[in-house]
Amino acid sequence: MTLAQQAPALILLFPFFGALLTLLIGLYRRSWCWPATVAACAASALAAWSTVVQVAESSNALVTYRMAGWVPPVGIEFRVDALNAGVVFMIAMVSLLVAIFSRTVVINETAGKEHFFYTLFQMLIVGVLGIGLTGDAFNLYVFLEISSLSSYALIAMGRGRAAFSCFNYIMMGTIGASFYLLGVGYLYIKTGSLNMVDISRIMHEQDLFQTSTIHIGFLFILIGVWIKMAFFPLHRWLPNAYTFAPTATSALAAPIMTKVSIYVMIRYMYTVFDPNFVFGMGPRSDVVVWLAVIAMVVGSFYALAKRKLKMMLAYLVIAEVGYMVGGAWLANKTGLTGAIFHIMADGLMTAALFLSAGAIYYKRKSYNVTALKGMFQKMPFTMGAFALAALSMIGIPPTCGFFSKWYLISAGIEAGHYGFVGGLLFSSLVNAILFFRLLEYAYYGEVETPYVAAGKRGKKKGFREKSGRDEAPLSMLVPMWSASLGLVLLGFYSGEVIAFISRYVAEVQF
Amino acid sequence: MTANVVSSALPLQAILVSALLPLVLVALGRVPNWREGASLLAGCLKLWLVVKMLPAVRDGQLLEYVLAEPVAGVPLVLRVDGMGLLFALVASSLWIVTTVYAIGYMRGAKEKSQTRFFVFFAFSLSATLGVAFSGNLLTLYVFYELLSMATYPLVTHHQDANARAGGRKYLTYLLATSVGFVLPAMIFCYVRSGGQMDFAAAGFMAGKVNSTEALVLLLMFTFGFAKAGVMPFHGWLPGAMVAPTPVSALLHAVAVVKVGVFCVLRVFTGVLGVDMLKEFDLGIVVSFIAGFTIIVSSLIALSQDNLKRRLAFSTVGQLSYIILGASMLSPLALKGAMAHIAMHAFGKITLFFCAGAIYVATGKKYISHMTGIGYRMPITMICFLIGTMSVMGLPPTGGLISKWHLLLGAPESGRWWLMLFLAGSTLLNGAYLLPIVYSAFFKSGNYFGPDSERGEPPPACFWPLCLTAVASIVLFFAPNLIFQLASLVV
């Protein structure tokens, strides 16, 4: 076996051993933790790219990898097809960008705990990548817990109400994971298998779709992942958890954790179960789409009402979840394509936004929107990246946000679901108001001198006033601009990406 | 279309010239003379590239360049036809003139952030050419939105409270309509036409929608391309007059607003198709909307004292001439409408240049303060008169030619009374523009009078406006090229 054939496993193994190594290195010299993390993430991203290439080149768009050579369904199998190859690559890339970005903020916010932070940071990446890669329902649960546990710890390292909001998240997250586990348990009772493809095969062969056990199992899994992705009305845990988390944590968790849950939902809906079963039961899909519409509208509105930049972005994550869930539940190919494409597009957009917001916080020590005043003068490059990401969120071509919206809207029209179309357009317009309000602050506002960062006791720790231009360090600008330019590139090459996704979508029988 | 399609990178190059120019501008930001030199050079290069396309297009060829294919079956494609080239010629030739003018104006008025200004000006031109060369609806929309984004920093250049309000209005109108109307209408077309969105002579939606759907689509497009300023979505244009005058001149008399009407023309000719609209008799609906806009905007213009605002409302009316021409659905009127894009551009840019020149030379913005200004700057005001005549459509200016075709188009469409809109508006145009000229030369006011010292504006402001005024007259005698290009499409 050549190294390239090991790529699916290597995606995971690099950050996994990186995490162990980082902990040890950190005991010796803490400043080496960052390079080690970046190296692990870069290697992982490289392996992910190699996997994508293999999937694209294989005749049936499928690459499987058997852990330790055990034959499935007994052994654990990694299955990478056109659905999750792109998602995994997006996750690996975003992780790499956030890892590069984190250099100064981690030293700043979690001083003395860098090695713990980076260890958990990589474990979170391992968990999320594992969810994306695995073809085993129970193994997925294990990775779900790995990612959740490390994210709990990472969030609790934050400031202010981080501990409390993290506790809230732990409760909800545990409930979600339990639902998922119960659902898998029900499937196991009926089919005796844990391998996803095997479960699907047995359910088809024995015609188990009409049994109530399977129904309940599906419902439990669905509720589990809905909690994990913060789908309305199960979204309450998310805004606080992401707002009070350290900068690097929220920049990592926001783009990848909710997106991977959406991937899991799609995987269960279309690979494990099949559309006839999912949509064959009366009005249920319509209810979900309407919930998605509410999620978009409510998420956007809450975002508009907030005064804190990070809180706004957190609520936008909730709105975007509505886009993807709605697209996946419209029950047509265009909608599914749009939803899968939007997983990647939105991952990158959210990363770009959280990164630039993080850079602004790093310099201004405040997330308050008023801290943005005059930022186009002070941090022109950071604001440029932010503006580009904002345009993508609004859906201005040629950024990728426009093209995912294109597919989602045409799916809505195809399905005759004009509520969804209206909701999308409405949410785009609310996004426009939201972001241009922020950009107005940054463009018209005068820089306050002396600037007082909003802290409890007057001046915030670590803030130093600088006159004139005060741009973020290069280690922040590079990942930020990579993400923002990536949005435009993804927009231009969306044709190729969509063609790739279609290889999965084409096989789905609606 | 029967014309043969030729693959060519020229359209892309023409767009890229001004899209890449900002890199040079930023690099030369510290040396204004070199920076402006680069702008001018790029302007000439761009015009040259556009002119190079002329022979092939006149032979009936379509120059095509595929950029990417982001949506299945709908590539981002540039395809140059007569109408697109006509518009591109107007925009890129006036860009050079405006650059010269902008140098004079920006330095004369001591504006700040001049590098940013020229950077976004170049971006706007790229987007404008992109719209002109778009080969399908998706490409058109992409460049349309880019234009909105690129012009926002120009409109709000002064970064004060007025600019903020104007900019807000600008984006609200343009984004709300494009996202709210055009985007869903476009995607509806995509779904309904089976993924085929190339502009076709008969309209790619022809035969694929019933009359109700066609009407809804028509209205969504006409209102949705709010850059065309059809009432009630015209409010952004007077608001955008907070911008520096070169922006108002090139963008809000030529590029941006003409992009709006150009898009509407494309919808009439390439998307829904003249034949289908005739069959369902939908032109009349738009005719009434456009006619209403023509008359009402002229009436509003009468009451404006700020010269630029008055010109803005005049532009709103003139844009609807073009829409009215399109909605007559007759070949003559369509030709007139396309020609009016060019003719009005030269006339109106002259007027704006004059307004800016007056502001730079004397600091006056209000018409009531300009009484007697003809004694101070006679040549500028004579150019203003020429611009006025062109906008009114009096000989010997190019405005007459296009208006003539529009007038003839009315009986050809079987509705002679549509002429009344045009005739009434011509009188109103005279009523709000001629008094400015009259009082400039024959009255004396608080600031200027017969004893005012003669002083024309700085040369960089002065010569461009003379040039465009002369061009308005030349177009009366030599409109052949314009009509040749226009008749390639009709």
pLDDT of residue B9: 80
Q: How confident is the model at residue A1 (pLDDT cuts 50, 70, 90)?
A: low
Tell me the shortest Cα–Cα distance from A495 to chain B, in angstroms: 4
Candidate from A275-279, A354-358, B310-314, B381-385 with smallest mean pLDDT: A275-279
How large is the average pLDDT for residues A425-440? 89
Candidates A429, A436, A492; nearest CB to B70? A492
* From A432, A440, A491, residue closest to B175, measured CB to CB: A432
- What would the mean pLDDT of B99-116 be, rounded to a whole number? 79
* Domain-located, residue B254: no
Cα A246 to the chain's mean position, in Å?
A: 17
Q: Give pLDDT tens digits for B325-335.
A: 888 888 888 88
A442: contact with B, CB 8 A cutoff: no
Identify whether the C-beta of residue B273 lies closer than 8 Å to the C-beta of residue B206.
yes
Nearest CA in chain A to B75: A495
Q: Kindly list the strands in the beta sheet with B74-80, ordered across the sheet, starting from the edge strand earlier in the chain.
A: B5-7, B62-71, B74-80
- A288 or A461, which is more confident? A288
With b meaning 16 or more CB within 10 Å and e meaning fewer, what string describes B4-24?
A: eeeebebbbbbbebbbebbeb
d(CA A449, CA B44): 45
Q: Where are the domains of chain A?
A: 284-510
Residue B470 scores a pLDDT above 80: yes
Which of chain A's residues have a Cβ under 8 Å away from the Cβ of B141?
397
pLDDT tens by residue, B40-54: 888 888 888 888 888
pLDDT at A201 over 60: yes
Q: What distance in Å separates residue B126's CA from the closest CA in chain A?
A: 14
Residue A497 to chain B, least CA–CA distance (Å) = 9
Number of domains in chain B: 1
The string of pLDDT tens digits covering residues B218-274 is: 888 888 888 888 888 888 888 888 888 888 887 777 888 888 888 988 888 888 888
Cα gap B343→B387, rounded to integer Å: 10
Tens-digit pLDDT profile for residues A392-426: 998 888 888 888 888 898 888 888 888 899 999 89
Set of chain B residues whose Cβ sits within 8 Å of the Cβ of A414: 191
Both tokens of residue B56? 């092939």
Within 8 A of B187 by CB-CB distance, chain A residues are 406, 409-410, 413
Quick: pLDDT tens for B58-102.
787 788 888 877 776 778 888 888 888 888 888 888 888 888 888
Whether B286 is covered by a domain: the verdict is yes
Alpha-carbon distance of A246 to A102, in angstroms, equals 10
Pick from B304, B309, B161, B316: which is nearest to B240 by CA?
B309
> With 60 as the cut, is the pLDDT of residue A459 above it?
no
Interface of B with A (CB under 8 A): 67-72, 75-76, 141-142, 145-146, 149, 153, 156, 159-160, 163-164, 167-168, 171, 175-176, 179-180, 183-184, 187-188, 190-191
Write the pLDDT tens digit of every residue in A128-172.
999 999 988 899 999 999 999 999 988 888 777 888 888 888 999
Which amino acid type is present at position A216?
I
How many angstroms separate the CA of residue B107 from the nearest CA in chain A?
A: 22
Three-state DSSP string of A43-55? HHHHHHHHHHHHH
CA distance A234 to B388: 64
Q: Report pLDDT digits (tens) over B401-417.
A: 888 888 888 888 778 88
Please check whether residue A355 is in contact with residue A251, taking contact to mean a CB–CB distance below 8 angstroms: yes
C-alpha Rg value of chain A to the nearest Å: 22
The 3 state secondary structure assigned to A56-125 is HHCCCCEEEEEHHHCCCCCCCEEEEECCHHHHHHHHHHHHHHHHHHHHHHHHHHCCCCHHHHHHHHHHHH
- Closest approach of A496 to chain B, Cα-based (Å): 7
Chain A interface mutation, best of B74, B145, B177, B197, highest count of A Cβ atoms under 10 Å: B145
pLDDT, mean over chain A: 86
Q: Which of A425, A441, A447 to mutate to test the interface with B (most CBs of B within 10 A)?
A: A425
Domain span at residue B410?
282-490
Question: Least CB-CB distance to B179: which of A391, A398, A429?
Answer: A429
Nearest-by-Cβ selection for A495 from B70, B159, B176: B70
User: For residue A500, what is the nearest residue in chain B, using CA coordinates?
Assistant: B72
Contact A476, A362 (CB under 8 A): yes
Q: Report the range of poorest mean pLDDT among A30-44, A89-103, B20-34, B168-182.
A: B20-34
For residue A444, give the nearest of B141, B164, B188 by CB distance: B164
Domain membership of residue B270 (yes or no) is no
User: A-chain residues within 8 Å CB-CB of B69?
Assistant: 495
Write out the H or E segment, with its range, that includes residue B80. strand B74-80
Q: What is the mean pLDDT of residues B477-481?
A: 81
pLDDT in tens, B281-306: 888 888 888 888 988 888 888 888 88
Is residue A62's pLDDT more than 60? yes
Put simply, the answer to whether B71 touches A406 (Cβ < 8 Å) is yes
Q: Which of B176, B188, B191 sits opposite A429 (nearest CB)?
A: B176
Q: What is the mean pLDDT of residues A471-500?
A: 88
Mean pLDDT taken over chain B: 83
Which of the residues A344, A388, A392, A402 would you substitute to probe the B interface, choosing the one with the greatest number of B C-beta atoms within 10 Å?
Answer: A402
Confidence of residue A451 (pLDDT cuts 50, 70, 90): low
Q: What is the mean pLDDT of residues A367-393?
A: 86
Residue B1: per-residue pLDDT: 44
3-state secondary structure of B222: helix
Q: What is the pLDDT of residue A343?
A: 92
* Surface-to-core class of residue A210, CB atoms within 10 Å of its CB (0-12 exposed, 13-18 middle, 19+ buried): exposed
Query: Closest to B179 (Cβ–Cβ): which among A403, A425, A499?
Result: A425
For residues B39 and B33, the answer to whether their CB atoms sit within 8 Å is no
Question: Which pLDDT does position A461 carry in this prediction?
Answer: 57
Residues of chain A neighbouring B179 (CB-CB closer than 8 A): 394-395, 425, 428-429, 432
Chain A residues lying within 8 Å of B26, measured CB to CB: none
Element (H, E) at A401: helix A400-415
Confidence bin at A453 (pLDDT 50/70/90): low
Q: Which of B308, B160, B171, B177 is nearest to B238 (CA)?
A: B308
Residue B444 binned pLDDT confidence (cut-offs 50, 70, 90): confident
